[in-house]
Chains A and B, each alone.
Chain A
Amino acid sequence: MLNLQHVSKWYNSGSNRTFILKDLNLEVKEGEFVSIMGPSGSGKSTLLNIIGMLDEPSEGDYLFMGQAVQKLKEKHRSALYKQYIGFVFQAYHLIDELTVYENIETPLIYQDIKSSERKAMVADILDRFQIVGKKDLFPSQLSGGQQQLVGIARALIAKPKLLLADEPTGNLNSKQGEEIMALFKELNNEGVAIIQVTHSEKNAGYGSRIINLLDGRIEN
């Protein structure tokens, strides 16, 4: 599904070049469930952002579904992203001014999907996540676990092939965390590839593969 070849990411601060990722190679196949682990500052989030096309590598090639991402025009990259990738954040990042329903609907709007179709899709996912009763509430009226559930629903609404999650349980208590992980496992079984960044060994255990990152390199 995706392939990173000799990818590096650095920042120039003064005369020094600080590497976040250094000559990193990674292949993820369709349907995999990969957990990225490592200490703070090891480059986990940066790696996830590069995979999610929110960030660009300073050097190296990134192939996604067989296409060289950096060589694509902004428009094509955006289309690729919209079609295949969903994002879940540690801090949920729901839009405060929108209701649960509207938050989940947003990605569909950006994909120019018709209103009637959007309605059906959002209704499906609300049903599936059992949050139909909360659809008219605003994020501030929900608990953290519920907010993250909405966040995941929003990431999944456009039926992505790849779900990227940056410490999805980081702000949740352990019970809520377990529920989210169980949900991830279930999604993975349905064929969605998942890449999550996590600090927790236990959460990492849900995945089929663990990648340990240290100082921008993959440890074997």
Chain B
Amino acid sequence: MFKNYFITAIRSLQKNKLFAIVNILGLSLSMCVCLVALLQIKDAFTYDSFHPFPKRSYRIITDITGENGIRDRWATSPPPLADRLSSLYPFVEKTVHVAPAMDEELQFEQKKIQLKISYTEPAFFDIFGFDLAVGNKRDALAQPNSIVLTSKAAELFFPGENPLGKNLSFKNASGNYVVTGILKDNQEKSHLITDAYVSFSSLEINNHNENLADEWKKYSYSSTYVLLKEDAPVASLEKALSTISMQNAALFQLKNISRLTYDYQRLDRISLGEDLMLGGNYKSANSLWIISGITFLILLMACFNYTNLSLARSLSRAREVGVRKAMGGSKRQLFYQFVTESVTVSLFALIFACWLLFVLMKLPIMQERLLNGVTLDLLTVCWFVVFAALTGILAGALPAAVLSSFKPVQVLKNLSSVRMFKGLALRKTLVVLQFGVSLIFIVFLVTVNKQISFTMSYAYGFKEKDIINIQLPDSKGHLLKHELEKIPGVERISSSSDVFGFHSSDYAPMKKNPDDKNGIGTDRYFIDESFIPNMNLTFVAGTNFSSDDQPALKNIVLNETAVKNLGYDQPGQVIGQSVWLNDSTPVKVVGVVKDFHYHNLKHVMGNLALCYDTARNNFLNVEAHGLDKGSAISSLQTAWKKIYPAKPFTYSWYDEQLAINRNKKEDVAMISFLAVMAVTIACLGLLAMVTYTAEIRQKEVSIRKVLGAQVMTIIMLLSKNFIWLLILASAISLPIGYIVSTLFLQEFAYRITVGWQVLLTSVFFILTIGIFTIISQTIKIAVKNPVKNLRTE
């Protein structure tokens, strides 16, 4: 029986090529997007399932509400929590600290490599399923200054050698680290990603023997993982955590925190769980919901096409239904037949979609951003087939229900008398929906594009041209500066801790008086005396630092916003006054610069403090005039080689660096892709709808033409209804597009408005493309020789 259904389906598709092409093309395009989403979802499920006790291992979450009412949930917790849990609560079998992975430059002899490292304890190997290829799990991380490398990292440092016992040094921490083990290559995915684990005990030594046991305030220091005893109820952990958080509240006056509680998450549910601060590498449920939502929307649009077109041509299938029923076919059997047909279409679409997916998987951007390490296996392919079948059922159920309920007497006796257009309102609704969704995408795309060109052209207010930023590997910057100054064409060199236009790395509260309870949050940059002239900043009051070192360290330059937020009316009033930054030492304000954007445009104007400190220079800012770009770099490089013979020269032209930062090319590409897809699917659907409707009205058109109607009149007659649908779709979705785009723009502190131009452009685009689609088909029917139609009738 199934074979028969299948044969009919194939033959029917062959006979209706337009129908088949429109549906297979539309479905495969949207299915391809869905397959990517499916792969991501599948990937998310594979995380952290390889640990020995995933069902009774938990990570502790710290839930903090600040005094400003902002609530944050951290995947980390205070270091003493682990001890408290294991010493006071017998249901806890083991605990382990794992510090969040951070970048560190490791050195072996002359070889320097940037790696992600994380600090942890020996119990790590009891709770997590990582294995050692070389070394002993029990004591590899027991001693201070021990390090366990992944086999990849070991291969980078010691190709072909035995790394055990070798000494590595860190850029940001003193002492030597002895390699005590090599991790086995792990195919399974985990929210923990690091290149090396360092013994946790090293931390206390490196941080001047600080006693972590009392540091309840350092909630972002490390994550705590807890293994409960077998059949210990998780409720007891919950109770213990709430007891501890209450004790905390009584014991510690936590600064700027109004409420602190602990929560927990099971190890195998970290992936697909919530978004957490310092949560590690995984996809949260939220992000997957968004991805699935958008892809489902696009899939639905393609399904609409199938439903719509099947209903439109139900007339031509009606006779077959009548005959089959007269042959003894039941309604249910016919329903199955038509559903088989739609499933067949979607399976064909799946083949195309898979092919597209393979093409996409080869693109580096897809590999990096969407399909990182995702592979196709047989089970996944099975899921794809199930997914395609469900899509087919979704698309084909309604037309199958309509078709299979035709009464044989009616359809066999006189086809033209059959009222086949009951679904017209539904079909119109579907067309409106498709174009509505497309228009929303387009409005959004135009908005994003406009905002990006706005940020591209927006002046930050500091100098970006002719400046080369050189990243410094250590504090020997002054030597390099000395070398660079000799190069002809180099006008001025300044040093700074960070460069403007990106995030500032230092944030501190600033107070007008030392006794003030709350300071104003201030972004700090450490600079030298050349930096302000180099960046072309304008003073509204006061002056620059003098190059005289000692008093300069006690001086500070603010921006207008900071002055205003400190409570001064005029910038002049603050000159010579003292402010307190972070600690109890007062610094004197010597100058106030005009406000400018030192962050990206997503942030509102903040409080800026420029402090004099040449020891904290991470960058040299070289102003080079009249130099050819290529030769400038090569002479800079020569100078660099003299000071740092072994280190790579990292530089960028400031204006290019900022342009890359501002231009969100990949996001635009993604939205454009989705928009193009939505429009294509909608147009394909409209094209076929118009074709079928026009064909049904051929006889009417012929009669009208014989009676003397002009071609233009006929085109209008056939197109009018569809054009109204487009206008209706625009009317409905313009406000939605406006709202969505406005919401998106809230992300930016400095933004465009979604003006009537944006809306008008989008509507114009969609109407043009829609009307073109409609007329391309109606014109064919309108210019046909009427005699032909009437004769064949």
* A positions within 8 Å CB-CB of B: 45, 49, 52, 54-55, 78, 81-82, 87, 89, 93-98, 102, 105-107, 109-112, 154, 158
A97 and B15 within 8 A (CB): yes
| With known contacts A45-B413, A54-B409, A110-B333, A81–B328 Cβ distance under 8 A | yes
B412 and A111 within 8 A (CB): no
Q: Which residue of A lies closest to B333 (CB)?
A: A110
Chain B contacts for A95, CB-based, 8 A = 8, 320, 323-324
Residue B247 CB within 8 A of the other chain: no
16 A-B pairs in the complex with CB atoms less than 8 angstroms apart: A45-B413, A54-B325, A54-B407, A89-B323, A93-B319, A93-B322, A95-B323, A96-B15, A97-B11, A97-B15, A98-B11, A106-B324, A106-B329, A107-B328, A109-B1, A110-B324
B15 and A98 within 8 A (CB): no
Chain A contacts for B327, CB-based, 8 A = 87, 106-107, 110, 154
A97 and B333 within 8 A (CB): no
Q: Nearest Cβ in chain B — how far from A7, in angstroms?
A: 15
Q: Nearest Cβ in chain B — how far from A195, in angstroms?
A: 15
Residue B254 CB within 8 A of the other chain: no
| Closest A-B pairs by Cβ, 5 of them | A97-B11, A82-B328, A110-B328, A107-B327, A93-B323
B319 and A78 within 8 A (CB): no
| With known contacts A97-B11, A105-B4, A106-B324, A78–B330 Cβ distance under 8 A | yes
Chain A contacts for B413, CB-based, 8 A = 45
Query: In the bound complex, how far is the Cα of B325 from the Cα of A60, in angstroms?
Result: 24
| With known contacts A55-B409, A111-B328, A98–B323 Cβ distance under 8 A | no
Q: How many A-B residue pairs have CB under 8 A?
A: 60
B324 and A54 within 8 A (CB): no
Query: In the bound complex, how far is the Cα of B322 from the Cα of A94, in angstroms?
Result: 11
Chain B contacts for A52, CB-based, 8 A = 326
Query: In the bound complex, how far is the Cα of B329 from the Cα of A158, in angstroms?
Result: 13
| With known contacts A93-B412, A98-B11, A158–B323 Cβ distance under 8 A | no
Query: In the bound complex, how far is the Cα of B7 from the Cα of A128, in angstroms?
Result: 26
Chain A contacts for B786, CB-based, 8 A = none
Query: In the bound complex, how far is the Cα of B258 from the Cα of A13, in angstroms?
Result: 78
Q: Nearest Cβ in chain A — how far from B315, in angstroms?
A: 14
Chain A contacts for B330, CB-based, 8 A = 78, 110
Chain A contacts for B325, CB-based, 8 A = 54
Interface string of B317-360 (1 = CB under 8 A from A): 00110111111111001000000000000000000000000000
Known: A89-B326, A95-B320. 19 other contacts (CB 8 A): A45-B413, A54-B407, A78-B328, A78-B330, A87-B327, A94-B323, A95-B8, A95-B323, A95-B324, A97-B8, A97-B12, A97-B320, A102-B4, A107-B328, A109-B4, A110-B328, A112-B1, A154-B327, A158-B328
Option from B8, B329, B407 in Cβ contact (under 8 Å) with A98:
B8
Query: In the bound complex, how far is the Cα of B290 from the Cα of A63, in angstroms?
Result: 62
Residue B521 CB within 8 A of the other chain: no
Quick one: which of B631-666 are within 8 Å of A by CB?
none
Query: In the bound complex, how far is the Cα of B411 from the Cα of A55, in angstroms?
Result: 12
Option from B323, B324, B409 in Cβ contact (under 8 Å) with A49:
B409
Q: Which residue of B lies closest to A55 (CB)?
A: B409
Option from A94, A98, A110, A158 in Cβ contact (under 8 Å) with B7:
A98
Chain B contacts for A97, CB-based, 8 A = 8, 11-12, 15, 320
Interface string of B1-13 (1 = CB under 8 A from A): 1001001100110
A54 and B329 within 8 A (CB): no
Residue B66 CB within 8 A of the other chain: no
Query: In the bound complex, how far is the Cα of B329 from the Cα of A154, in angstroms?
Result: 13
Chain A contacts for B409, CB-based, 8 A = 49, 54-55
Query: In the bound complex, how far is the Cα of B7 from the Cα of A32, in angstroms?
Result: 39
Query: In the bound complex, how far is the Cα of B409 from the Cα of A98, in angstroms?
Result: 22
Chain B contacts for A158, CB-based, 8 A = 328
Q: Nearest Cβ in chain B — how far from A201, in angstroms?
A: 24
A54 and B320 within 8 A (CB): no
Residue B408 CB within 8 A of the other chain: yes
Quick one: which of B676-728 are within 8 Å of A by CB?
none
Chain B contacts for A93, CB-based, 8 A = 319, 322-323, 326, 412
Query: In the bound complex, how far is the Cα of B2 from the Cα of A112, in angstroms?
Result: 11
Chain A contacts for B408, CB-based, 8 A = 54
Q: Nearest Cβ in chain B — how far from A169, in angstroms?
A: 18
Chain A contacts for B8, CB-based, 8 A = 95, 97-98
Q: Nearest Cβ in chain B — how far from A49, in angstroms?
A: 5
Query: In the bound complex, how far is the Cα of B409 from the Cα of A49, in angstroms?
Result: 7
B4 and A106 within 8 A (CB): yes
Query: In the bound complex, how far is the Cα of B413 from the Cα of A93, in angstroms?
Result: 11
Query: In the bound complex, how far is the Cα of B8 from the Cα of A49, in angstroms?
Result: 27
Chain A contacts for B407, CB-based, 8 A = 54
Q: Nearest Cβ in chain B — how far from A39, in angstroms?
A: 17
| With known contacts A55-B409, A93-B412, A98-B11, A110–B320 Cβ distance under 8 A | no
Q: Nearest Cβ in chain A — how far from B345, in angstroms?
A: 15
A54 and B326 within 8 A (CB): yes
Chain A contacts for B329, CB-based, 8 A = 106, 110
Q: Nearest Cβ in chain B — how far from A90, in angstroms?
A: 10
Chain B contacts for A82, CB-based, 8 A = 328
Q: Which residue of A lies closest to B323 (CB)?
A: A93
Query: In the bound complex, how far is the Cα of B8 from the Cα of A158, in angstroms?
Result: 21
Chain A contacts for B15, CB-based, 8 A = 96-97
Q: Nearest Cβ in chain A — how far from B314, in angstroms?
A: 16
Query: In the bound complex, how far is the Cα of B374 from the Cα of A59, in angstroms?
Result: 68
Chain B contacts for A94, CB-based, 8 A = 323
Query: In the bound complex, how far is the Cα of B329 from the Cα of A81, in angstroms?
Result: 10
Q: Which residue of B lies closest to A138 (CB)?
A: B11
